[in-house]
A and B are shown apart, each in its own frame.
Chain A
């Protein structure tokens, strides 16, 4: 069961780097876990802490004001690279519920949707505004697929309709897939005849 997602209001954290890969989001040395929780403390591990494990003061998550923010605004092509679902798990465990960019990598987007982390792709102008206003209070409404910023500024976004339906209602898509088992069985029977 996924927590339903309807409206999210929060300050933003801005990470204006393009092509942030999932190795940065959660480095591979933390992947030996067999669990999905507790990964938030390793989120962006090597950007948050130096080799001696001291916090890097200049990294955005270590700056005052980042705490409690639930919306991450990142550069183009966020989540590229490895398919590790540990990336959205780490973001969610840390407290994020949405990521906004002008482009989000395919596997990451799919993994995020499956876990209730909303991937939001918006137009370049709105994105530029968000980058220029770190910490802005904004709202993301999944019911009408709109990001609402200051002074009436709005941006629409698209979410695959089935994933959106599942998120709005807190439905696990596996349930629906399981309801298709008769069709799957029929397909397998046909394939067995062909072979």
Chain B
């Protein structure tokens, strides 16, 4: 009898090419390498300098997302005003992929989108895989029971050249989420609540496994939101064991196994569960049954509070610095705080279910005067699906902007940005200083809370609006 193993350990063990020793880390095989324009050019250049080739172009998939404009006007003008450096970066990725035979969903591809949205959408992301990308939110793919984590550009080069990484075995952290979410409370609120509880470094050095009643009840898109922000708790990766929800999501996706291969894959994937009695280095249990919609008040995702609460008294210099940057006062209610920009998008919350949630609030209502509301789908496919059900009309009729897909205001490097001093309610994942533009102030929240804030022009609890919507319907 082998000792009971965690989900993480099963995936890890299957990918060890050379075991770790005291002197050397393990050589870990990577099944899928996702690539984007910002963190790859120096890696391809390093390979060229050493005369190395991309070992497995067939296990590499590239797209452009970070620096590509999303505004309809930019596209109407043929991306005329796209920043020179960004344009060169995008072109460089095209050349690098062309030369090495890497598949690229480029600027004009209908399958283009945020790298962490398209992997699952195309069925490239599968249970039991090891997946890396030069991007910290690679943790998203862990929702499928993959071991997925972000790496730097030097390691992007390592994977391009060898399809492997040098890795030490990380520790494991079990996050058990008990209870059922109340109406108007989403996976985004859950992960913000978890980070508030364990801290922005609570997962450092660990791979988190999320499980429990609340996780089992989540759709794949919700699980992706959950795992996406595991990195914001400092974790290497977040994982959820695959189940029927996972298989149903993946069945028939273009890059998923088909036919007999699919049947065989599902049999294998069913084994990807933590064995009873498997041990974790740490564990925490959180009851999310009474959780409220969450919103951040500070400059890291751990500075978070229930939307009905009052901004906490600062615990130390870091909190005072954050309040100062945010222009907020301890003791004040967060609901009712005026906002100027609302951003619904990013690899955290830009999938079809997120857009549907936003539309449920915005339908038949108007964005408050003086508020700029941007809806940026996570991929061109999400955009097309949303348009097919008329969500774009709902957004436009409400006075919100409907964009092409991309990272957009999540990282503000494609021309979309908020002005200094503006308050942005954002469905993205980082409220760091300047993340959405120099001096811009980010409040992270769910798509429901963001949409409710767009309507009222102030940070708002979405639940009364949802109630009202139901009464009318």
Contact = CB atoms under 8 A, between A and B. Distances in A.
Interface of A: 16-19, 21, 23-24, 27-29, 31-36, 46, 51, 75-77, 80-85, 88, 103, 105-107, 110-111, 114-115, 160-162, 165, 173-174, 176-178, 180-181, 183-184, 187-188, 191
* Residue among B17, B52, B420, B432 with the highest chain A CB neighbour number at 10 A: B432
A75 B316 CA distance: 12
Given A24-B432, A81-B136, A184 B234 contact: no
Contact of B134 (A28, A76, A83): A83
A115 to B, nearest CB: 7
B150 A83 contact: yes
Given A85-B154, A162-B25, A19 B434 contact: no
Contacts of A17: 317-318, 321
Contacts of B86: 32
Contacts of A161: 22-24
Nearest to A164: B23
Contact of A180 (B22, B27, B318): B27
B161 A34 contact: no
Given A32-B85, A84-B38, A114-B152, 19 more contacts: A17-B317, A18-B316, A18-B318, A19-B300, A24-B434, A31-B413, A32-B38, A46-B433, A46-B434, A77-B234, A80-B201, A83-B135, A83-B136, A103-B201, A107-B150, A111-B153, A174-B154, A184-B17, A187-B29
A32 B413 contact: yes
Nearest to B411: A28
A19 B25 contact: no
Contacts of A31: 38, 66, 413
B157 interface: yes
Contacts of A165: 23
B106 interface: no
Contact of A111 (B23, B85, B154): B154
B81 to A, nearest CB: 14
Contacts of B41: 34
The 5 closest A-B pairs by CB, nearest first: A111-B152, A32-B85, A85-B152, A34-B41, A83-B150
Nearest to A106: B236
A191 B14 CA distance: 10
Nearest to A115: B154
A77 B89 contact: no
13 contacts: A17-B321, A18-B318, A23-B432, A33-B85, A46-B434, A46-B438, A81-B136, A103-B201, A107-B150, A107-B151, A110-B155, A177-B158, A180-B17
Contact of B164 (A88, A103, A105, A177): A177
B223 interface: no
A187 B201 CA distance: 35
Interface of B: 17-18, 22-25, 27, 29, 38-39, 41-42, 45, 50, 52, 55, 66-67, 83, 85-86, 88-89, 92, 134-136, 150-155, 157-158, 161-164, 166, 168, 200-201, 204-205, 231, 234, 236, 300, 302, 316-318, 321, 411-413, 420, 430, 432-435, 438-439
Nearest to A36: B42
Given A19-B200, A32-B413, A107-B136, A80 B234 contact: yes
B23 A110 contact: no
Nearest to A29: B413
Contacts of A111: 152-155
B17 A187 contact: yes
Contact of B166 (A76, A105, A177): A177
Contacts of B155: 110-111, 114
Contacts of B201: 19, 76-77, 80, 103, 105
Contacts of B161: 174, 177-178
Contacts of B27: 177, 180, 183-184
Contact of B438 (A51, A183, A187): A51
A121 to B, nearest CB: 11
Given A34-B42, A77-B204, A183 B17 contact: yes
A178 B161 CA distance: 8
B381 to A, nearest CB: 25
Contact of B89 (A19, A32, A105, A180): A32
Contacts of A174: 50, 154, 157-158, 161-162
B18 A110 contact: no
A180 B27 CA distance: 8
A175 B153 CA distance: 16
A77 B438 contact: no
B29 A184 contact: yes
A111 B438 CA distance: 26
Nearest to B233: A80
A188 B31 CA distance: 10
